[in-house]
Amino acid sequence: MNFDITEEQQMIKNMVAEFAEKEIAPFAAENDLEEKFPWDIVKKMGELGIFGTVIPEEYGGGGFDYIAHAMVAEELGRVDSSVRGIYSVQVSLVALTVLKWGNEEQKKKYVPRLASGEILGCFGLTEPNSGSDAVSMQATAVEDGDSYIINGNKMWITNGGVADIALIFAKTDKNAGARGITAFIVDTKTPGFSTRDIHQKLGLRSSNTAELIMTDVRVPKENVLGEVGKGFKVAMSALDFGRYTVAAGCVGLAQGCYDVAKKYALERVQFGKPIAGHQLIQEMFADMIVDIEAGRLLVYRVGHLKNKGVPNTREVCVAKLFCSEMVNRVAYKALQVFGGYGFSGEFPIERYYRDARINTLYEGTSQIQKLIIANKDLGISAF
Amino acid sequence: MKIVVCIKQVPSTEARVQMDPIKGTLIREGVESVVNPFDEYAIEEGIRLKERYGGEVTVISMGPPQAREALKTALAMGADKAVLLSDRAFAGSDTLATAYTLSLGIKKLGDIDIVICGKQATDGDTAQVGPGLAQRLNLRQITYVSKIREINLKNRKITAERLIESGTQVVSTALPALITVVKDINQPRIPNIFSIKKATRAEIPVWGMQDLGGDPKDFGFDGSPTQVVRIFTPPPRQGGEIIQGEVPEAVAKLIEALTSRNIINL
């Protein structure tokens, strides 16, 4: 086993850390407060090729490995989870999924433009009445000549209101359960496609979350991603990518919580010494350190498996479950270190705390992760 | 245009660097290393000159094998080539020996138009290597450059603004020349992923004493007339004495204290 970070991973990590520090962190609080989508930041990320880190060079990316990909998510998550979320969806859920399931024409058409940030993508699986039970989706796609006509709504879609393309999952056969679902690449400018932004979220306030409303949206057959009836498999593999960057983002956010708490604890004096010197505070720091390091190792192990190209659904669910719960524990303790100041908007810990919460909910709740993990081991599905 | 940028790897300015009280050197183990911040401006300026006038940027560094990382950073920013001058024989170099070693490396690169250095390194803080190097290479020099106004390749002339205590001075000189730069000159770029990839693939030649030629007694410890005798952290300031009590009494005590220390004599 080799735990050393490679030279190129280190260089990517340094570069994104510098970018995050200089170009994201100074604007994060304001963007959060005003629910402002960070277009400038997204544009700069595109220019620096950040969205293309893990994309192969032949499709306009940098050709870096999955651990470098996690490090990007980590460094973005360390300062702004909203930006990390934009990255995760754009790269993991959309670009890597098109790369895995698309035909050569689709890959050439979309992946380089996603890698450069020229276009943004979103991922439409969840519906108002279909979350954990994805197979119960109601969106339909009906064959009509050379096209499919899609009808239905998608809910809680990150990048939904700003995306140029959407991966949409819809039923092409209502009676076939999971085998009746098909994936489509949908141009969001297609007539009948509209969105409604969702406001007043607890966290991720500068990332765009929207409902997608599709009324008789005509999509050419050439935009079917993968095969007809194989959409559920496409969705599940996309989540194997997506959950990976969520887990990595959680490690980054937890590190961000830790870093600000550490700075505060070394400066804040009570009972005649910095509070970092008090035993009960030190216990919280020790807990945070152990939690973050365990999470990071789980994430990098998944990266190692992804680099090898072997199945990793179980391991990615383990990492996602642990890291999403972990970041909430760490955010809680880090905020506790701040005392009353943590409850105000004066320090970023308040935003970090709110941003941590989503992670146990999206891309599969913690409960769903547990059911997948146990099922992989026990061989009996609970749903 | 052939541009050479000299860089040094130094301990991160954010790291808490400690000194070895016995050896009188910095403890570098476990301390994160970075490109000397002033050299980042030099790299950036070199790349900008290339973008403006065409040509090629070569970065060169003298240091231990790990200084390769600093050179990779420069390549990631957009430099074209890098050379590492590394040899056990270079250990213990002061500014004179460092300038000598770098000058041989640069001579080996062939004809050049401009050498750019940061104004000083954040670890040694001497600001001597740039000027010393100009002397060794017999180049004209402009130090503390805050802006390059123009380079006229046809007339072989450079015009630059340099920071002086009372303001800004505009200076022209003939090429080839050496300049040292201050942080006002530019804002170093963040590398993009493609140049990082290119940098990770780049081979960096390592030149030792044999490759450079020169006189063995001019390198490293032997070639260094200045030696660090001692390096120490000043002891933390002790708290003073506070004289309390009523004013007349306190003043009397203060006068006594100052008189007994021969500070005042009433």
Domains of chain A, first to last:
7-120 (1.10.540.10), 122-229 (2.40.110.10), 233-378 (1.20.140.10)
CA–CA separation, A319 vs A244, rounded Å? 7
Strands B18-20 and B56-62: unpaired
Residue A335 Rama label (left phi>0; alpha psi -120 to 50; beta)? alpha
Question: Of the candidates B72, B73, B193, which has its C-beta nearest A12's C-beta?
Answer: B193
Hey, which residues 60-79 in chain A have their CB within 8 Å of chain B?
A: 61-64
Can you read off the two tokens belonging to residue B148?
């390059």
Closest Cα partner for A257 from A86, A83, A80? A80
Average pLDDT of chain A is 97
Is it the case that residue A289 has pLDDT exceeding 70? yes
- Cβ of B65 under 8 Å from any chain A Cβ? no
CA–CA separation, A203 vs A83, rounded Å? 12
Do residue B191 and residue A15 have CB atoms under 8 angstroms apart?
Answer: yes
CA–CA separation, B245 vs B255, rounded Å? 14
Do residue A11 and residue B73 have CB atoms under 8 angstroms apart?
Answer: yes
- Cβ of A7 under 8 Å from any chain B Cβ? yes
Q: What amino acid is encoded at A365 in this protein?
A: T
Each residue's pLDDT tens digit, A234-286: 999 999 999 999 999 999 999 999 999 999 999 999 999 999 999 999 999 99
pLDDT, residue B24, reads 65
- Cβ of B190 under 8 Å from any chain A Cβ? yes
CA–CA separation, B195 vs A134, rounded Å? 42
CA–CA separation, A220 vs B173, rounded Å? 66
Contacts of A339 (CB under 8 A, 6+ apart): none
Determine the distance in angstroms separating the CA of B118 from the nearest CA of chain A, rounded to an integer: 21
- DSSP β-bridge partners for residue A148: A143, A219
Contacts of A192 (CB under 8 A, 6+ apart): A214, A215, A216, A217, A218
By C-alpha distance, the chain B residue nearest A23 is B190
Lowest mean pLDDT among A150-164, A325-339, B229-243: B229-243
Residue with tokens 């934009």: A86
How many beta-carbon pairs below 8 A join chains A and B?
46
Question: Of the candidates B191, B193, B199, which has its C-beta nearest A53's C-beta?
Answer: B193
- Cβ of B197 under 8 Å from any chain A Cβ? yes
- Cβ of A54 under 8 Å from any chain B Cβ? no
Question: Of the candidates B69, B190, B193, which has its C-beta nearest A52's C-beta?
Answer: B193
Closest Cα partner for B126 from B164, B93, B150, B158? B93
Each residue's pLDDT tens digit, B197-254: 999 999 999 999 999 998 999 999 899 998 877 777 778 787 788 888 899 999 999 9
- Cβ of B16 under 8 Å from any chain A Cβ? no
Strands B9-11 and B33-35: antiparallel
A73 and A243 Cβ atoms separated by less than 8 Å: no
Active site residue A346: no
DSSP B61-114: EES-GGGHHHHHHHHHHT-SEEEEE--GGGTT--HHHHHHHHHHHHHHT---SE
Is it the case that residue A62 has pLDDT exceeding 80? yes
Indicate the DSSP class of residue A159.
T
Residues of B in contact with A75 (CB under 8 A): none
Is it the case that residue A35 has pLDDT exceeding 80? yes
Q: Could you give all domains of chain B from N- to C-terminal order, each with its CATH number?
A: 2-218 (3.40.50.620)
Can you read off the two tokens belonging to residue A317?
């669910």
Phi, psi of A57 (to 5 degrees): -60, -35
pLDDT, residue A306, reads 98
By C-alpha distance, the chain A residue nearest B198 is A62
B192 and A49 Cβ atoms separated by less than 8 Å: yes
Determine the distance in angstroms separating the CA of A190 from the nearest CA of chain B, rounded to an integer: 33
By C-alpha distance, the chain A residue nearest B34 is A14
Q: How many residues does chain A have?
A: 383
Question: Of the candidates B190, B191, B200, which has its C-beta nearest A7's C-beta?
Answer: B200
Do residue A15 and residue B197 have CB atoms under 8 angstroms apart?
Answer: no
Can you read off the two tokens belonging to residue A288?
């945070």
A217 and A193 Cβ atoms separated by less than 8 Å: yes
Question: Of the candidates B69, B73, B197, which has its C-beta nearest A62's C-beta?
Answer: B197
Contacts of A336 (CB under 8 A, 6+ apart): A284, A342
Given pLDDT bands bounded at 50, 70 and 90, which one contains residue A64? very high
Q: By three-state DSSP, how is residue A166 classified?
A: strand
Determine the distance in angstroms separating the CA of A52 from the nearest CA of chain B, rounded to an integer: 8
State which residues of chain B have pLDDT below 50: none
Say how far residue A120 (Cα) sits from the centre of its chain. 14
Residues of B in contact with A14 (CB under 8 A): 73
- DSSP β-bridge partners for residue A331: none
pLDDT, residue B23, reads 66
Is it the case that residue A81 has pLDDT exceeding 90? yes
Best of A15, A43, A58 to substitute, by most chain B Cβ atoms within 10 angstroms, is A15
By C-alpha distance, the chain A residue nearest B191 is A15
Can you read off the two tokens belonging to residue A334?
């880090």
Do residue A8 and residue B193 have CB atoms under 8 angstroms apart?
Answer: no
pLDDT, residue B120, reads 92
- DSSP β-bridge partners for residue A225: A183
Is it the case that residue A8 has pLDDT exceeding 80? yes
A106 and A53 Cβ atoms separated by less than 8 Å: no
Do residue A11 and residue B194 have CB atoms under 8 angstroms apart?
Answer: no
- Cβ of B247 under 8 Å from any chain A Cβ? no
Adjacency order of strands within the sheet including B56-62: B167-174, B157-164, B140-152, B177-181, B114-118, B2-7, B56-62, B81-85, B206-207
pLDDT, residue B208, reads 95
- Could you tell me the maximum CA-CA distance found in chain A, to the nearest angstrom? 79
Say how far residue B261 (Cα) sits from the centre of its chain. 44
- DSSP β-bridge partners for residue B59: B5, B82
pLDDT, residue A282, reads 98
Q: By three-state DSSP, how is residue B180 classified?
A: strand
Residue B242 CB: number of other CB atoms within 10 A? 6
Can you read off the two tokens belonging to residue B89?
């024989």
Determine the distance in angstroms separating the CA of B190 from the nearest CA of chain A, rounded to an integer: 7
Residue with tokens 């130094």: B10
Is it the case that residue A343 has pLDDT exceeding 80? yes
